[in-house]
Structure 1
Amino acid sequence: MPQITAYYGIPGQVPFLDVDIAVDNRMFLDPHAIRLHGRSSMFAMSANECTETFFREVTQRVFSGDQQGGLELLQRFVEHWETRLGLAKNNFRGHGGADDVGLWIWRALTTDINALLQVGVLQQVEDLPLFIEGIDRDITSDITTRIIFEPLADFTAEMVDRYPQFRGPGHRLGRFNCRVWDSAAMAWKIKSFQLPEADEKPLLLVPSGWARPTLLMSAVRYYETSVLGYAQLERAIVSSTGKLLKTPKGKLMTEPGLGRGRVTNLNVTRRAHAKNDDLVAKFKSFVDLKWTPPEGDSDKLVA
């Protein structure tokens, strides 16, 4: 099947991700990329408010010991396909369903990574893939899509108004009831949205630059930069000439306790925090410094 612009006959550059309407496209919504776009787009600002209020509410449930309330928040990520993003075999169906994924996150927040949550090292949705097994680009994308569904629907509505082809001959809009995160009510709500129907299924448009093949803040990137970088400093010695000598990262990877994985990420992050060193904050600064808007990124057009 064709891409969105070909399917609807829309010419030229468009401010949305032009994906194939009939297959899973190997792109993933990245909450940190959206956060960086928040400087120029009202839709990104709205999406960031959704992820921030959601994570804040989950955090409050953890602090109060409200497991039932926490799970009710975390087990609402039903499978969806409106954006055409991700990999079907790796989404919630492939991982045992939203209930299982929500339970993984709750257990991690109340056990393994609770200390980091308590001291404020973990503050945003994009921090979770760094430390929780099974929460990678696919699940992060699905979670993010559900949390920011309403801003995505608002963006889609603007695109439908901008491009009359969405209402052209042979095409129609449908009314759909969807569960979305309501930032004002701090709760999940069922709301009705009018969305294009492509290949007889609802279509949710995604601003260009919001989705990537990999997460900006992936567990692997965190490990290879911040975690191993900190381990290098731990073991560094000063030579007789005053030069700082560091163990190569490749060699560190073979040492006990420093193998690739989220257990290492967690242990080194804890160790660093005990010495008043916030590796997650430093990693975000590194990511933000390296980030540049993708070529042709037109998110600013909808500011």
Structure 2
Amino acid sequence: MRVITSYYGITGPVPFVDVDVTADNPLYLDPHAIRLLRGPNPYAAAAVECMDTFLHEVTSCVIGGPSFHRRGKDLLQHFVEPWETRLGMSEEGFRGHGGAEVVGEWIWNTVTGDVEALVRIGALRQLEDLPLFVKGIDRDITSDVTTRIVFAPLARFTEEMLATYPEFSSAGHTTKSYRRQVWNPVLREWDVEEFTLPVANGKPLLLVPKGWARPTLLMSATRYYETTVLSFAQLEQAVVTSDGKLLKTPKDKLKVQPGLERGRGTILRVTKRAIETEQDLIRAFKAFVDARFEAGIRDEEEAA
């Protein structure tokens, strides 16, 4: 394994994810982690702006006419396969699922089909909501899609690291200018920019700020189902006893009930039922995730 710091001879702690530059790494860019870390971080703030303007542009096209539909579908056809970050596993990402265009088709067909109602009422509003409802979109594809959308902030962070660590361009190591497709949040169009990136093992390297990549997604379909979706189903079936106690069906028994089995079909049905009673399960799930994330950070700080 040749992680970035050993490959370049950098010592001490670094503010980027220290991945193996010669192989895939089982870490995934997590859009919700980026959102939670944006605070005073200009790169995270820029990344969130890219994610939000991109999804807003796509979902706006969903509720428009045929010309808007053509534009929305086209916006999802520009996810060229990433490898600059070395994150994710190739067989699980774009390459392993028939290519980026196929993935774009999945997303468009879902937001104009099964979840169009959620788009129209604004329940599906952030990039990290997609894995909850789009079949086939898990940590790998989410990471690939997010990387393409936030490529410009990642590249600018990388350029700052080049200025901070001279090791990237010394002892025989080189940097090179690359023209890359980026999402332009002002124009709300795909654009092209030129960046200077380090060259590692003969290929461009894109650095990722610490905390942006995780082995699992904070907002995964499995976590949403296991927590918020089943909790709502418990309340739907709960019975109040004569002494005022609330009896709830255990989650393991709910999972084998028809209509509540694991899967995105169940997730969508229960989410829609909750909306009919004016309950936003997606928002509730994010509140749960955010609280756990913040508690984890506090625990790390106290242990340090």
User: TM-score scaled by structure 2?
Assistant: 0.96
Does residue 1:26 correspond to 2:35, yes or no?
Answer: no
Task: Work out the CA distance in 2 between the residues paired with 1:6 and 1:193.
Answer: 24
Amino acid at match of 2:92: N
Q: How does 1:1-303 map to 2 (within 5 A)?
A: 1-65=1-65, 66-292=68-294
Q: Secondary structure at the match of 2:63?
A: helix
Aligned-residue offset at 1:93: 1.3
1:64-118 CA deviation, whole Å, 9 max, x = no partner?
1322211210010011200000011011111111111111111111110000110
Which range is displaced more, 287-296 or 98-107?
287-296
State the alpha-carbon separation in 2 of the partners of residues 263 and 229 from structure 1: 17
The 1-side partners of 2:208 and 2:12 are apart by: 17
Distance 1:296 1:53 in 2: 33
Aligned-pair CA distance for 1:40: 3.1
Contact 1:178 1:191 in 2 (8 A): yes
Q: Which has the higher contact order (CA 8 A, sep 6+)?
A: 1
More off after superposition, 237-246 vs 224-233? 237-246
TM-score (norm 1): 0.96
The answer to whether the Cα contact below 8 Å between 1:196 and 1:203 also exists between their aligned partners in 2 is yes
Do 1:209 and 1:294's aligned partners in 2 also have CA atoms closer than 8 Å?
no
Q: Is the CA contact (8 Å cut-off) linking 1:38 and 1:45 kept in structure 2? A: yes
| SS of equivalent to 1:56 | helix
Q: 2-side partners of 1:275 and 1:240: how far apart?
A: 26
* SS of alignment partner, residue 179 of structure 1: strand
Aligned partner of residue 291 in structure 1, secondary structure: helix
Compute the displacement of 1:154 (Å). 0.5
AA matched with 1:100: V
Structure 1: runs of 5 or more not aligned: 299-303
| 1:21–1:198 CA contact under 8 A, matched in 2 | yes
Q: CA RMSD in A?
A: 1.4
Contact 1:223 1:260 in 2 (8 A): yes
Runs of 4+ in 1 over 3 A off after TM superposition: 292-298
One-letter code of the match for 1:225? Answer: T
Deviations 1:171-198 (Å, cap 9, x if unpaired)?
A: 0001111100001110001111110000
Indicate how the Cα distance of structure 1 residues 228 and 123 shifts in structure 2: closer, same or farther if over 3 A, else same.
Answer: same
**How many residues of Structure 1 are paired with residues of Structure 2 in the alignment?**
298
Contact kept? 1:27, 1:211, Cα under 8 Å: yes
Q: How many percent identity over aligned positions? A: 56
Gaps of 5+ in 2: none
Find the aligned partners of 1:48 and 1:194 in 2 and give their Cα distance: 22
SS of the residue aligned with 1:268? helix
SS in 2 for 1:55: helix
Range moving further from structure 2, 149-158 or 67-76: 67-76
SS of 2:61's partner is helix
Query: How big is the shift at 1:14?
Result: 0.4
Do the aligned partners of residues 191 and 219 (structure 1) sit closer, same or farther apart at CA in structure 2, a change above 3 Å counting? same
